[in-house]
């Protein structure tokens, strides 16, 4: 079946991200709070943020960075992330956002693949950043360490150099429909992580598509604990909240006590989370010690939310719980339970096991992966399951320098094949029921099996290996599990395999279970038969 969004189309202006977010800002909005740093209490107003963005863009331009250049950002959520990220886009350059937990070699891989000539980081990440910069040959003046004061002789520029100089933003021109604004990395349906080329139009479109569904207003205070470097935080927190003139309470990492304190102390009204946070909120006794009554809406995404769990959070915190579905390649949001289904669609809220309806200006198909035929529309209950295909202005331009992977993912009619299995009800509400693709998600973060398999094969006691996602019996969460074939006569146990991988990759990519087998099941063409492993 093929169906369109039940929401009216929205207008998507043909402008840059900067023009879209700030081009029409009113004088009386400049004094409003854009960003709060709860640790220091520092507040950045919209006016200050815009001035900082201009300064970053001006400094980059003075260094010859503009259209066609790529700048990496390696940082957890801090207020300056917003100025640097939007400064890069304002200068006409492309931002590649790097997972703040990455090891030096993972960082270097992304810098090299994206062609980044500059890297912006902060001092707690200096060691990895420097090692990666050295590995790809970036000179000291191209590694910016924002909070490194008094390091004049290190040769690394800092925030005072970059923002303090107050250089005027350059005039740049590019086509928002085709110019790459950001390059987050995703492994997509198969293989290694690839640069996801998202245009200015993609990012503008997704904020515009979300606008009528999110219900975010200038009175909202939004807690920004999901990382800005991942597409969920980038669009739904950073861009959408700034567009709506809301305030962001910026947290560098998740800590339950700090999360609860910040909600209470800053009277946070909206929270965007991934399912592991919902588990803590539903179960931890300490939650009762805080006044969280300011919260009116919470939305979960990035991995499946259990219906019971979602309802338990809604009851305990007395808030409206919603779910969204997205993918880096979709800028990312393609489906959402809106904040007011009754007013927008005349419908009751669907169960929290659903991810809601296609966002405005988009079209979906549900296709049987075996036959390639569209499944039939249900008259009642749910349709047969099939692969979810999405078409709309938020579909990426393609994977960077990878025409084959792009062609395998976006078909000739413009539909992006998500690799997720979905069912749909008669109103067009979508339920994600399984994942067809290789991708594993650990706490909402991507774990690309191909990368771990390649790493395992470098161990001299391992003859062959395959990695799949399994549900951990204790936590109920998906974890990466390795199937390992030992070299003849080699002795290697579970602990050694786990430690080996852990020493080389970011913590979320750790293998968390190991099973030794005689041979990895493979097809005639040599593809790992993941279904057989699962069974």
Instruction: Indicate whether 367 belongs to the interface with ligand 4UU (CB under 6 A).
Output: no
* Selected range binding ligand 4UU among 131-139, 228-236, 255-263, 486-494, rule: CB under 6 A: 228-236
Instruction: Indicate whether 176 belongs to the interface with ligand 4UU (CB under 6 A).
Output: no
**Segment 403-407 long-range contacts (CB within 8 Å, at least 24 positions apart):** 405/188, 405/191, 405/194
Region 232-261 residues binding ligand 4UU, contact defined as CB under 6 A? 232, 236
Number of residues that bind ligand 4UU (CB under 6 A): 24
Question: Can you tell me which residue has the tokens 């998500």?
Answer: 418
Instruction: Indicate whether 231 belongs to the interface with ligand 4UU (CB under 6 A).
Output: yes
User: In the set 22, 325, 399, 442, which binds ligand 4UU (CB under 6 A)?
Assistant: 325
User: In the set 36, 111, 303, 422, which binds ligand 4UU (CB under 6 A)?
Assistant: 303
**In the complex, minimum distance from the CB of residue 347 to ligand 4UU, in angstroms, rounded to a whole number:** 19
For 234-257, b where at least 16 C-beta lie within 10 A, e where not — what string?
A: bbbbbbbbbbbbbbbbbbbebeee
**Quick one: angle between helices 79-90 and 46-62, nearest 10?**
50
User: In the set 99, 110, 128, 186, which binds ligand 4UU (CB under 6 A)?
Assistant: 186
Nearer Cβ to ligand 4UU (56/299):
299
Instruction: Indicate whether 323 belongs to the interface with ligand 4UU (CB under 6 A).
Output: yes
Q: Which residue is nearest to ligand 4UU (CB)?
A: 301
**In the complex, minimum distance from the CB of residue 473 to ligand 4UU, in angstroms, rounded to a whole number:** 20
Nearer Cβ to ligand 4UU (47/276):
276
**Quick one: angle between helices 494-502 and 449-457, nearest 10?**
110
Nearer Cβ to ligand 4UU (239/269):
239
Instruction: Indicate whether 277 belongs to the interface with ligand 4UU (CB under 6 A).
Output: no
* Selected range binding ligand 4UU among 17-25, 82-90, 148-156, 326-334, rule: CB under 6 A: 326-334
Cβ-contact 260, 223 below 8 angstroms? no
Question: Can you tell me which residue has the tokens 């003075």?
Answer: 62
**In the complex, minimum distance from the CB of residue 226 to ligand 4UU, in angstroms, rounded to a whole number:** 9
Instruction: Indicate whether 222 belongs to the interface with ligand 4UU (CB under 6 A).
Output: no
Per-residue binding string, ligand 4UU, 406-425, x by CB under 6 A, is ------------xxx-----
The three-state DSSP-derived secondary structure of 345-395 is HCCCCCCCCCCEEECCCCEEEEECCCCCCECCCCCCCCCCCEEEEEECCCC
User: In the set 246, 331, 361, 446, which binds ligand 4UU (CB under 6 A)?
Assistant: 446
* Cα 268 to Cα 118, 207, 225, 297, distances in angstroms: 35, 21, 12, 10
Instruction: Indicate whether 327 belongs to the interface with ligand 4UU (CB under 6 A).
Output: yes
Cβ-contact 54, 43 below 8 angstroms? no
Instruction: Indicate whether 92 belongs to the interface with ligand 4UU (CB under 6 A).
Output: no
User: In the set 63, 200, 435, 510, which binds ligand 4UU (CB under 6 A)?
Assistant: 435
Q: What angle do CA 194, 204, 214 make, to 5 degrees?
A: 105
* Selected range binding ligand 4UU among 90-98, 325-333, 342-350, 403-411, rule: CB under 6 A: 325-333
**In the complex, minimum distance from the CB of residue 225 to ligand 4UU, in angstroms, rounded to a whole number:** 14
Instruction: Give 136's Cβ-side CA count (13 Å radius).
Output: 25
Residues in the chain: 535
Number of neighbouring beta carbons within 10 Å of residue 411: 13
Alpha helices in 215-356 (DSSP H): 231-232, 240-243, 256-265, 275-283, 307-317, 341-345
36 phi and psi, to 5 degrees?
A: -125, 130
Alpha helices in 38-125 (DSSP H): 46-62, 79-90, 104-114
Cβ-contact 246, 211 below 8 angstroms? no
List interacting residues with ligand 4UU (CB under 6 A).
186, 231-232, 236, 301-304, 323-328, 332-333, 355, 418-420, 432, 435, 441, 446
């Amino acid at each position: 079946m093929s169906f369109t969004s039940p929401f009216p189309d929205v207008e998507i202006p043909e402008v840059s991200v900067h023009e879209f977010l700030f081009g029409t800002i009113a004088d009386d909005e400049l004094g409003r709070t854009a960003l709060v740093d709860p640790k220091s209490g520092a507040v950045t107003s919209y006016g200050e943020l815009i001035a900082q963005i201009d300064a970053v863009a001006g400094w980059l331009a003075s260094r010859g960075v503009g259209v066609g250049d790529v700048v990496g950002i390696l940082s957890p959520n801090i207020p300056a992330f917003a100025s640097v990220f939007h400064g890069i886009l304002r200068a006409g350059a492309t931002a590649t956002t790097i997972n703040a937990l990455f090891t030096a070699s993972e960082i270097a891989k992304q810098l090299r693949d994206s062609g980044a000539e500059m890297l912006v980081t902060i001092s707690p990440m200096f060691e990895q950043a420097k090692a990666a910069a050295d590995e790809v040959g970036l000179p000291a003046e191209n590694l910016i360490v924002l909070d490194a004061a008094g390091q004049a002789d290190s040769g690394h520029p800092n925030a005072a150099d970059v923002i303090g100089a107050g250089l005027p933003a350059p005039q740049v021109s590019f086509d928002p429909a085709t110019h790459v604004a950001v390059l987050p990395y995703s492994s997509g349906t198969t293989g290694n992580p690839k640069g996801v080329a998202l245009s200015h139009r993609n990012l503008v479109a997704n904020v515009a598509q979300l606008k009528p569904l999110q219900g975010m207003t200038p009175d909202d205070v939004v807690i920004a604990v999901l990382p800005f470097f991942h597409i969920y935080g980038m669009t739904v927190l950073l861009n959408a909240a700034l567009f709506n003139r809301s305030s962001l309470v910026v947290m560098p990492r998740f800590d339950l006590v700090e999360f609860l304190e910040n909600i209470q102390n800053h009277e946070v009204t909206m929270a965007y989370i991934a399912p592991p946070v919902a588990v803590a909120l539903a179960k931890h006794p300490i939650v009762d010690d805080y006044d969280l009554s300011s919260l009116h809406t919470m939305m979960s995404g990035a991995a499946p939310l259990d219906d019971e769990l979602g309802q338990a959070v809604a009851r305990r915190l007395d808030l409206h719980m919603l779910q969204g579905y997205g993918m880096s390649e979709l800028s990312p949001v393609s489906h959402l339970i809106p904040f007011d289904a009754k007013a927008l669609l005349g419908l009751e809220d669907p169960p929290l096991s659903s991810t809601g309806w296609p966002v405005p200006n988009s079209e979906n198909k549900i296709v049987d992966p075996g036959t390639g035929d569209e499944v039939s529309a249900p008259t009642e209950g749910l349709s047969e399951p099939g692969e979810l295909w999405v078409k709309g202005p938020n579909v990426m331009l393609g994977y960077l320098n990878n025409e084959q992977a792009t062609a395998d993912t976006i078909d000739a009619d413009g539909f992006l094949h998500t690799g997720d299995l979905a069912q749909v009800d008669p109103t067009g509400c979508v339920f994600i029921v399984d994942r067809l693709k290789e991708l594993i998600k650990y706490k909402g973060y991507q774990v690309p099996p191909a990368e771990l398999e390649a790493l395992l094969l470098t161990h001299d006691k391992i003859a062959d290996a395959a990695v799949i996602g399994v549900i951990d019996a204790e936590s109920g969460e998906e974890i990466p599990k390795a199937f390992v074939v030992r070299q003849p006569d080699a002795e290697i146990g579970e602990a050694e395999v786990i430690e080996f991988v852990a020493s080389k990759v970011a913590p979320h990519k750790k293998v968390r279970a190991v099973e030794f087998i005689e041979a990895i099941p493979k097809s005639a063409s040599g593809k790992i038969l993941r279904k057989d492993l699962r069974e």
